[in-house]
Every structure is written in structure tokens, then in C-alpha cells.
Amino acid sequence: MGTFSELGRIAGAFLRLGVICFGGPVAHLGYFHDEFVRRRCWLDEAVYSDLVALCQALPGPSSSQVAFGLGMRRAGVAGGLVASVCFLLPSAVLMVLFALGVGRVGDLKSVGWLHGLKLAAVAVVAQAVWGMGKRLCPDRARMSLCLAAAGTVLLAPSAPAQVAVLAAGAIAGWLLYRREPAEGTSGAGLGRNHLWAAGTLIAFAVLLVGLPVAARSGGQRAVAAFDSFFRAGSLVFGGGHVVLPLLRAEVVPAHWVSDEAFLAGYGAAQAVPGPLFTFAAYLGTLMGAGAGAWLMGAWCLVAIFLPGWMLVGGTLPFWNLLRGRPAVRACLLGANAAVVGILVAALYNPVWTQAVRGGRDAAAALVAFALLSLWRTPPWLVVALAAAAGQWLLG
């Protein structure tokens, strides 16, 4: 357990990063490397690389999980929690405030700047599909897995179908790639408390299985919401953008949030620093009621980040052993290809179908995509320009 002074240093470092870390998880990892490997020398290159590899292999928000791992190495579980909470806090506060503003608007279909945020979401998801496809589907077999996953999810748009597609992708990856050698490890130890770690993984499994049962039997909305967001945080492989279809499948069919509000918030999430998973704070606040709506936002925020924290804390001591197994790597290759397919399906429905109403909207989305992908325009600026374009298109 870290001392209060050490926890204070962790809090200060990650709160500052939470304010300045724009650009998505890849950019966040660059900020972390510069801050903690080069400037503060909290760990060396080999250990940092192993930590990043672990968090990219696990479901959940990779940059937030790296933050948890960095804090945990420095000051135990308390350090991990302090690092993660401080990193996500600025973004979460902004998303809660945005949700409170959207809640006062009323009919979102006629609000121009919110329509522009939905067009920004088209560009952002298209960029994610493009980048992830090149990285995770470089051969014919994985591209075929991707397209099969997309077709399946489009034909059966539901959360169980997405889970089944991920499982099928992992099995296919094992069948196709299990004989290929896995990457070596640095040999750097990332943790030694195996008993505590095993208990954390067991607790994660109990929650993953038990929360749906409690949600169905209790009938309480807070339990059902915690179950939905916990499950989404447990199943998101491949980056924060993949949370889009998983969360929509949970909150829109249940009529907790409308499609218009969902996509508007997703677009706004691109303009704030920190992890994209703070989108959960926005959704939860819209699901809440009255002056305490932000409490539901905080509840959903904890639910979506908790699986990532538990998985990193529980897997960290075993990572060197797991990473050396070809079967583990093979399953991840297949699952990641399926993830790209899920995101392809989401790009069409709901992102494109809800945002693009005609040729002018399509042109605006294409311009936003070009600014992001070709001209490397900062996402917050693209979002602001898209909001202005939406106001002009509906004005």
C-alpha cells in the first residue's frame, strides 16, 4: 500500500494527464510513455511494453487499464484506483455536464448542432474501422472473419449475437493460427501476489454471471444498468470505439436513451480529453432523474470501468506465462478480427442510418473523415466544425 504522499503524486500526475490527453488511446499511451518512462523513470521500456501488451490483449479501455497498471505498480491497488479515477475524472465531468444540457433540449431531431455531432460520429467510427482493419485484418483469413462477423451482427443486431461473434472469432483464430509462434516476453516481472490475483479473477467471473441473474430477478433499474455497463466493459476488445455497438444494444432497445441522444453524446465524446469510456457517464446521467441524475452517471461509470480494473489486477501477475502460449495469441487474433466486423456493422447501423439523411449529410461526413484521416486534424476541432455544419444543414 502506498503512502499518502505517493498517492498524492500519482493523483497529481494522472489528473494533469486527464486534462491534456486528447487523441484517443494510442495518443494516451504516448503521453504515458513520455511522462512515466522518460521523465519520471517510474519503470523501464521493457516493463512498460509488457504492460501495454497485456492491456491491449484484455477487454476494456486499454489506456485506462495502463493507467491502472502504472498506479498499481507504484502504490498497489490503491495507487491503481487513484491513477484511473484521476485520469478519467476531467472527461467524466464534461460528459455529465453535456448530458445535463442535452436533457433540457427536448426534441433532438431538430437541433442542428446535435445533428452535426452525429455526423462527426460517422467520421470517427469510419476512421476507427479503417485503422483497425489495416492493423487487425492484414490477411485474407482475418478479413473473411471480419466480414462474416459484420454480416452476422447486421442480421441479428443484439448483445448476445455480438458475444457469440466474439467467441466464434476466438475459436476460428485458434483453429487458424495456433501453430504460429507467440511473441517473446521481456521476462520483467509485473506482479507476484498470485493468490490475490486469482481471487480478483474469480470475483470478476462471479459478477459477470451473477449480475444478469440479479437484474432479471430484482427488477431494479440500478441493478439492470450496472449489469449492462459491466457486461459492455467486459466484452470490448480492440479499443474504445467498439463500445458503441455494445452499449447501444443495451440502452436503446430498453428505451433508456434514444438513438439521437446516444449518437450525439458519442460525437461529443470525441471532443473531450481522456478515455472514450466516460461516454458511460453521459448515458447514465440521461438515464437518471432530477438533480441527482449525475449519480446514475457515476454508477454507470464505475460499472463500465470495473471489469477492466479487475482484469488488469487479476491478470498482471500471470501475464508473462500467458503471453508465451501460442493458443492465447491465436484466440486474440481471431477475436480482434471479429471486433473489426462488429464495428463495421455499427458504422452502418446505427451510425450511418441515424445520422445521414441525404447527399449533403453524406458530403459533410466525408469531409470530416478526410480531416481526421488524411489531414490529421485534432478530433475536438473536427467535432466543432461538424457541429457548425449540422447547424447550417438544418438551419
pLDDT tens across 63-107, in order? 899 999 999 989 988 999 999 999 999 999 999 999 999 888 766
| Residue 314 resides in a domain | yes
pLDDT the model gives residue 187:
45
Residue 352 confidence (pLDDT) above 80: yes
pLDDT tier at 385 (50, 70, 90 boundaries)? very high
| Residue 214 resides in a domain | yes
| Residue 156 resides in a domain | yes
Asked if residues 141 and 335 have their Cβ atoms less than 8 Å apart, the reply is no
Asked if residues 321 and 336 have their Cβ atoms less than 8 Å apart, the reply is no
Q: The pTM is what?
A: 0.83
Query: Structural domain tally of the chain?
Result: 1
* DSSP label of 110: G
Domain membership of residue 360 as a residue range: 113-394
pLDDT the model gives residue 125:
83
Residue 188 confidence (pLDDT) above 50: no
| Residue 121 resides in a domain | yes
Mean pLDDT of all residues in the chain?
87
| Residue 99 resides in a domain | no
Residue 1 confidence (pLDDT) above 60: no
| Residue 66 resides in a domain | no
Buried (b) or exposed (e) across 103-126, using 16+ Cβ within 10 A?
eeeeebeebebbbbbbbbbbbbbb
To the nearest 10 degrees (0 to 180), the angle between helices 140-155 and 326-346 is 50
Asked if residues 173 and 318 have their Cβ atoms less than 8 Å apart, the reply is no
Indicate the residue type of 200.
Answer: T
Span 318-325, mean pLDDT?
Answer: 71
